[in-house]
Structure 1
Amino acid sequence: MGQGPFWTTETRAAFYTQDQGSRLMPAAWLAALRQPDGTPFLADRLARYGYLPNLEDPTTLLPAGFTSTRADGQQVVGMTCAACHTREIALGGQTLRIDGGPAFADFGALLAGLDTAVRPLTTTPAAFRSFAAAVLGPQATAADRTRLAADVRRWYRRFNTIVSRSLPPEPWGPGRLDAVAMIFNRLTGLDLASTRDGMIVENIRVADAPARYPFLWNAPRQDKTQWPGFADNGNDFLAMARNLGQVIGVFGEFHPVVDKRVPLLGVNYVGQNSANFEGLQKLEELIQRIGPPRWPLPVDRALAAQGAAIFARPEAAGGCGTCHAERIREAYGNQLWITPIQDVGTDSREVKLLSRTARSGVLTGQTVFNIGPLAAEEPAVRLLGAAVVGSIVQAPFAADLSGRGRLAPVERREPYAQARDDVAAKGETLRGALPERPPTEAAPETFAYESRVMRGIWAAAPYLHNGSVPTLEDLLKPAAERPAEFAVGPAYDAAAVGLARTQPGSGFLLRTTGCEARNSGNSRCGHEFGTTLSPAEKRALLEYLKTL
């Protein structure tokens, strides 16, 4: 699929495999893991969960977006951006690969499947013996097996805790994930305890505000990111903050340690932090190269021109330009697209998530520039901000302090004094880039989300932030007339511009609610713009949207 002159087979290959610091489990474990029926866990390259094969490396058993990286003396499997932001669409007899598009992957099912596969290793001696033989080989000693058993139990205790307490009774399904809650759960539940293996289990809560994966090709140019628009965007610091937060959510290993010798901060945020800062920067550069996918079928240019005029109308006249036009503002020395944040009546659950609080753990009493001092309980988004900012400020000095790309253990740290002035300078730069107020200070009962530039919107179905509307044609109808349920999958309807009503091979139906249950997480309510256009005007607008 053509996605601009800067997107090549080389950039795609790097996008699929660039390590960002995610550490799911040792590669040898994953290779030895079995499903309940005895087949290898990786038998179908995780296609059963909607993940896609790595087209640039057909020999690997890992799908696109899964990495294998040398860490702590062994190969470790993790995830990277492409796992959640690569999709295929079946259209016009073709299967189109779209890089940077919202995946149809079912992350919740993957978590549940891993939990089911690992559980017998901790409860069934025969299952563990078979697993240990595959991982350790025939020369393993009893001591080797004992250590492996302890490692598996430790891994499963933490993984099972977050999975069992996070996954909602009603599955997210393919193409959706409550990413914000999962980041909050992992950070506050697994990372902020006083010991590395400790947990603050009461901080882990049901993640029931699902959102669809966003498309990436305009992410670096927006002035706000995240569906509720709570994250400023537009320079290297803010891009790193955006990316570092998601690493924490997808199996990044992180444990801040209080240490008053650390200049300005008093906490070591990078000594026990698996984030690959260089890799995150490379991924950001790759994302900047991804162009929006071109509509692959013929376009009625005359009809699209009529649609362009309709698009440019204000909201009151059924147009889209007020919210979705490519308007530019200068910020941080860059030209950014203005991302309006407003309440248009859509599902409220994700915005309400931002008021959630959590115990602060080891960050209690700490201050990171304009964040803090942190009380014993704080909004989880504020704790995430402190963890991310502290890590970014320390990261440039990690190699100097350890000689190996991150801070050494506490007892080996020495040259903080030389870094103090540089850290302060970095901090002042970052302070000017942080939001002036936390999002929890927004007016109550205002449930605002970002309005994105529409480039490539044809390839991003389903629509609204929670993926509750299958096609753009449906989005131009009043909420009461939109489908109450629909199948989710790659089959595409070119006329309706979105998901086809029939999805061969898909066993998942997304059931939505109306405006009577706006806080369900699955409400199709809101965004009733263009609903009064005539059928001819709607056809013209849809034709134009294909060209963006």
Structure 2
Amino acid sequence: MRQLYYHTSQGTAMLPYHLYIHLEQADSRELISSDKFTEKVGLIPNKKDPNLNPEGLPIGLAKIDVKDGMFKGEWVGFTCSACHNGQLFYKGKKIRIDGGSNHMFSMPNYAREIRKAMAATLADEDKLDRLMDRAEGEVDMTRAEMREELTIIGKYLDYYSDKINQSPYSFGPGRMDALTQIHNTLVGGYLEIPENVEMTMAPTKSPLVWNAPQSAWVQWSAVFDNPIYRNLGESLGAMVRVNLDKSKGELYEATVNLKGQIELEDWLRELAPPKWPEKVLGKIDQKLAMKGKTLVQENCASCHSSYPHRWSNPRKMGKRFIENAVVPQEYVGTDPQQFESGALDSRPKFLAGIMSDILPEPYTGGQAAPSMVLQDTMKYGVAKKYLKQLNLSEEEFLSATNYVSGKDPAPPAPSYKASPLDGLWAAPPYLHNSSVPTMYDLLLPAAERPKTFYHGRDYDPKKMGLDTSGKSGKFVVDTSNIGSSNAGHSFENKKLGNGVVGRAFSEEERWAIIEYLKTLPNEEGQVTPYGGPENPVEAWKDDSFFNKQYKGWYDASDAYKDGDGYGSKKK
């Protein structure tokens, strides 16, 4: 199952497979498919497996063979584990974190490295000679055809790297503005309208994916509850090829692998949060951890749940999902930049182009529409086409869509979802934008956190975070940059709200909290039941739940009361 998660294609098609296998790096004869290059760009090398990874691809890359149509050919592209699978380094040891955040990988930076390799090959006849020699017998292409392919794919990656992912400063490893990247790819790239592209200015890290299928809402801003459309949007933003021009071919024809996406989500339902490895990172002080448990229950648990969690009212077929606290941005005070993304802008400010006639009312035939309308039209069109081919039963479809009704009371924006605490030790840096390097720093008053720090590769088990010494990583995170603020989620002796989420802690209390967080999960293989346990803690009956206390923001207490998925909207 682990290998399937690593290498099952979601349909992304970054570049032809033969180029991935045989292309040299820009500044050497070493191939871009080598383990050395893989580690350089932050992906995790993986061994060959005759059945599950015969090509020896790194974690997060998958091969897809499109048998016919306008995208016919063998491609290599990203799967979700490229970003949602981590690895921590400590004293020469590597700790694999399945479903964790890859704090060393940047998809835009990877694309830039590939396009540099292509440009160098086009400029160097010897490099092109060696590429032709290695590909001989695998592809039937003349030298001129190979040049043309390198030029076309290179232009595609140029646009993806420098236009789709343009930013005012380098976000560094482990961060990208995913919401705007998806918006730019769909609304600017697929529509071929550069005017629709916006600057990416809200870097975030990839969320943890254990307990994601079990959660009522996902993404940092709690904007999706339906896995099919969430995952389809992500894959479209990660270079699925799709046709929106009826004059060029079949509408919505795509390289997407919807079956693979549903299977990936299904497998993640069985992923347990990682348990602290005492043999590698040191033994837990259980006495100190017990003090920390009390502090967490008193100061953190109203928002951040841990196993066995709080649960929603039942959706269709009585299925429940983890009800994470949805906290107003103005309350938690963390960086608000992602809510300025065009992806969340409800105004009809983006050109519709060739999609104008297929948009829903009131935008049908109009020149412009909101980003989400354009995105949803694409996603629903692709999903309808390829779901029909899967011929799912009603029960299979409900399972694939997390039993939602389509009338769910969505959390208002701007909000941030408070993630569960299980396995949080394995996911530095902290806050949604990776602006706080360690848990120790997160427990400080915000004004006392480091304004700049080295983003290290190695793990710091004492402070529970990344090495900031500069010995294992030289990229400097500057929290004064737009989108990178480390404000908010502060612990101070002030009234709660406006960025203050709890009282100030003493030095001893901070170490106690860190020690307790190391104990979560408290059992190996502690998989959260998909659909809810037999005797759930019902969130909307729990007086300690943040959204029960903070009235008038997000209230789903009446949702799904009869179990059919038709509840009231926010009061």
Q: The TM-score by the shorter chain falls in which range?
A: 0.7 to 0.9
Question: Equivalent of 2:370, from 379, 390, 399?
Answer: 379
On the 8 A contact 1:108/1:173 being kept in 2, the answer is no
Would you say the 8 A contact 1:158–1:190 is kept in 2? no
State whether structure 2 residue 30 is matched by structure 1 residue 42: no
Taking the TM superposition and a 5 Å limit, the aligned residue runs for 1:98-113 are 98-103=97-102, 104-113=104-113
Could you say which residue in structure 2 is the equivalent of 1:532? 504
Quote the Cα distance in structure 1 between the aligned partners of 2:138 and 2:324: 58
Shift of 1:94: 3.3
* 2:234 paired residue number: 246
CA distance in 1, matches of 2:42, 2:85: 10
Counterpart in the other structure of 1:467: 434
Cα deviation per residue 1:83-121 (whole Å; 9 max; x = unaligned)? 111211124663211111100213232121112111245
For residues 357-376 of structure 1, the C-alpha deviation after alignment (integer angstroms, 9 at most, x for no partner) is 422223224345x9964842
Deviation, 1:435, is 5.6
Q: Equivalent pairs: percent with the same residue?
A: 28
Give the equivalent residue in structure 1 for 2:517. Answer: 545
Which residue identity is paired with 2:267? L
Deviations 1:171-193 (A, max 9, x none): 1211111111111111112223x
Which position in structure 1 is the counterpart of 2:289?
304
Q: For 2:193 and 2:105, how far apart are their aligned partners in 1?
A: 29
CA–CA separation in structure 2 for the residues paired with 1:489 and 1:269: 46
Distance of aligned partners of 1:432 and 1:365 in 2 relative to their CA distance in 1, 3 Å threshold: farther
2:238, 2:254 → 1: CA distance? Answer: 13
1:417 aligns to what? none
Q: Offset at 1:452? A: 1.0
Give the partner amino acid of 1:36: A
- Residue matched to 1:395: 386
**217-226 vs 347-356, greater mean Cα deviation:** 347-356
Within 2, Cα distance between the matches of 1:280 and 1:139?
29
Deviations 1:199-251 (Å, cap 9, x if unpaired)? 212222322211011111011111111212221x2xxxx11111111110111
Matched, 1:331 2:298: no
Q: Secondary structure at 2:321's aligned position in 1?
A: strand
Return the offset for 1:387: 1.7
Question: 1:321 corresponds to which letter in structure 2?
Answer: A
Q: What corresponds to 2:197 in structure 1?
A: 204
The CA distance in 2 between the partners of 1:180 and 1:111, in whole Å, is: 18
> What aligned pairs does 1:86-235 form with structure 2 within 5 A after superposition?
86-91=85-90, 94-103=93-102, 104-122=104-122, 127-136=127-136, 144-165=142-163, 166-192=165-191, 199-231=192-224, 233=225
Q: SS state of the match for residue 213, structure 2?
A: helix
Task: Tell me the CA shift for residue 256 of structure 1.
Answer: 3.0
Number of the residue aligned with 1:421: none
Question: SS at 1:244's partner residue?
Answer: helix
1:17 to 1, 7, 14: 7
**Contact residue 491 and residue 503 of structure 1 kept, 8 A:** no
- The residue that corresponds to 1:7 in the other structure is none
**Contact kept in structure 2, 1:303 and 1:540, CA below 8 Å:** yes
- Pick from 229, 232, 243 the counterpart of residue 255 of structure 1: 243
Q: Secondary structure at the match of 1:461?
A: coil
Question: 1:63 maps to what in 2?
Answer: 58
* Residue of structure 1 equivalent to 2:495: none
2:421 matches 1:454: yes
With over 3 angstroms needed to count, the CA separation of the structure-2 counterparts of 1:97 and 1:118, relative to structure 1, is: same
Q: Is the 8 A contact 2:359 2:374 kept in 1?
A: no
- For 2:85 and 2:503, the matched residues in 1 are separated by 31
- The C-alpha deviation readout for 1:357-410, integer Å capped at 9, x for no partner, is 422223224345x9964842222233222222232233232368xxxx9xxxxx
C-alpha separation between the residues in 2 aligned to 1:145 and 1:281? 40
Question: Displacement of 1:463 after TM fit?
Answer: 0.5
AA paired with 2:195?
E
**How far off is 1:293 after superposition?**
0.4
Residue identity matched to 1:465? H
With structure 1 as the length reference, what TM-score do the two structures score?
A: 0.79
Contact 2:353 2:367 survives alignment (8 Å)? yes
Please give the alpha-carbon distance, in whole angstroms, between the structure 1 residues aligned to 2:172 and 2:139. 43
For residues 541 and 146 of structure 1, the distance between their equivalents in structure 2, rounded to whole angstroms, comes to 63
